[in-house]
């Protein structure tokens, strides 16, 4: 098993480089960029934009200069740069690192990222790693509680449906699950706001944030209650679709195992139904649930809550990544991609190791990686 782990970790390096390379190439051909964004702000808002940008990213030099009509290539290759001083455009290129060839910039990025040095945000006066740490508690709160509640509901419900397959309970719960799966989480979130957050009917739950304004003045018990009070609506919105998928997956997995010969043999030996279900069927049926854990984990923590964060004004990683792409804040975009990819690769490895722990018959050493 140790040799398998070493091989998998070794393969993570070219996989990660490939992900970053493809993304880097796509960005090179994407329209717009941080320099063009600065130019758009300058031409649209005048000197106030220059002052704000200089404060966030360093000294960008003067504003619009006397370079009107210049044929300088540094100005002509950026949309809207005509009429600006070519020296100012070149200074922007140096500031953002675009004065170097693409291969040099990519190599430097890989070297920095290997040391977890993600630089500073282009348009926020903060380092990227500090920015991610600042947004992490929101995403952890949403992802952790969504995963716990989803598994706590889905696994017992799926087992109950498998045991009572075809019964009235199975039919009615399947109807509820299908309806829950069909309703988009963001639409359900809006409905919850209208009904329970002061939209049109009741004003029971808060509309935004994870804590109240008087959080610092609350006692420990009151802080805990306030925290969960704020989580009720967003977590309910996220769990709706997730538990439906997991419950049906659990049911089908258990049905497949219950119909196998070893279950019939166990029953013929006189074992109780509970013993057959939890001592024999459970371990084999849970393998497929474990297989889906990495994707669910990464999605819940890092990419599955963008709309929910936006609707409930929760400033987490999903919203950060989306805004960074819109603003062409490339250090934040690539840092998010690098961290998410790295976490995903390690969680996949952890999933394989969990396979072996749940079922010792699985031996990854006997097959190619």
Residue listed under structure tokens 């696994």: 155
Q: What was the pLDDT predicted at 297?
A: 65
Lowest mean pLDDT among 39-43, 49-53, 118-122, 298-302: 49-53
pLDDT in tens, 125-147: 788 999 888 888 888 888 888 88
Residue 56 confidence (pLDDT) above 60? no
Give one word for 22, left, alpha or beta, with left for phi > 0 and alpha for psi -120 to 50.
alpha
Greater confidence, 266 or 57?
266
Of 158-167, 204-213, 285-294, 324-333, least confident by mean pLDDT is 285-294
Residue 99 pLDDT greater than 60, yes or no: yes
The reported pLDDT for the residue numbered 196 is: 86
pLDDT score of 15: 92
- The rounded distance, in Å, linking the Cα atoms of 102 and 99 is 9
pLDDT for 52 beyond 50: no
3-class SS of residue 266: helix
Weakest mean pLDDT among 171-180, 196-205, 209-218, 334-343: 196-205
3-state secondary structure of 234: helix
pLDDT score, position 169:
92
Of 290 and 168, more confident = 168
Contact 348, 297 (CB under 8 A): no
Predicted confidence at residue 369, as pLDDT, reads 46
- What is the pLDDT at residue 362? 66
The mean pLDDT of 67-92, rounded to a whole number, is 60
Q: Are 300 and 143 in contact (CB under 8 A)?
A: yes
Residue boundaries of the structural domains of the chain = 31-115, 132-366
Give the CATH class of 132-366: mainly alpha
The confidence score (pLDDT) of residue 303 equals 52
Give the rounded percent of residues in the chain with a pLDDT score beyond 90: 5
Mean pLDDT for 339-351 is 82
Residue 340 CB partners (closer than 8 Å, separation 6+): 298, 302, 303
3-state secondary structure 302-367: HHCCHHHHHHCCCCCHHHHHHHHHHCCCHHHHHHHHHHHHHHHHHHHHHHHHHHHHHCCCCCHHHC
pTM of the model: 0.71
| pLDDT number for residue 184 | 84
User: Average pLDDT, stretch 238-256?
Assistant: 84
User: Residue 70 above 60 pLDDT?
Assistant: no
Largest Cα–Cα distance of the chain, in whole Å?
A: 93
């Amino acid at each position: 098993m140790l040799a398998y782990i070493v091989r998998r970790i070794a393969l993570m390096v070219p996989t990660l480089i490939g992900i970053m390379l493809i993304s880097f190439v796509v960005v090179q051909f994407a329209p717009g960029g941080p320099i063009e964004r600065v130019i758009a702000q300058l031409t649209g808002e005048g000197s106030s934009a220059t002052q704000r940008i200089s404060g966030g990213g360093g000294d960008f030099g003067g504003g619009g200069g006397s370079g009107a009509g210049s044929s300088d290539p540094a100005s002509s290759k950026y949309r809207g740069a005509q009429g600006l001083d070519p020296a100012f455009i070149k200074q922007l290129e140096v500031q953002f690192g675009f004065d170097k060839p693409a291969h040099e910039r990519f190599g430097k990025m890989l070297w920095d990222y290997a040391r977890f040095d993600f630089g500073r945000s282009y348009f926020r006066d903060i380092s990227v790693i500090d920015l991610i740490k600042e947004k992490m508690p929101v995403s952890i709160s949403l992802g952790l509680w969504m995963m716990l509640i989803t598994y706590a509901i889905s696994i017992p419900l799926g087992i109950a449906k498998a045991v009572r397959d075809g019964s009235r309970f199975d039919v009615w719960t399947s109807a509820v699950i299908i309806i829950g799966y069909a309703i988009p989480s963001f639409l359900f979130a809006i409905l919850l706001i209208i009904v329970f957050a002061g939209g049109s009917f009741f004003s029971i739950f808060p509309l935004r944030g994870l804590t109240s304004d008087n959080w610092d003045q609350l006692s420990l018990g009151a802080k805990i209650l306030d925290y969960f009070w704020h989580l009720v609506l967003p977590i309910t919105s996220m769990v709706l679709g997730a538990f439906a998928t997991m419950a049906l997956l659990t049911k089908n997995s258990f049905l497949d195992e219950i119909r196998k010969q070893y279950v019939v043999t166990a029953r013929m030996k006189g074992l109780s139904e509970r013993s057959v279900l939890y001592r024999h069927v459970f371990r084999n049926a849970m393998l497929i649930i474990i297989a889906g854990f990495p994707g669910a984990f990464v999605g819940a923590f890092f990419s599955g809550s963008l709309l929910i964060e936006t609707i409930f004004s929760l400033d987490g990683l999903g919203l950060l990544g989306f805004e960074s792409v819109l603003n062409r804040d490339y250090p934040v975009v690539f840092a998010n991609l690098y961290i998410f990819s790295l976490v995903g690769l390690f969680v996949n490895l952890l999933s394989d190791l969990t396979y072996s722990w749940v079922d010792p018959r699985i031996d990854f050493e006997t097959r190619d990686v």
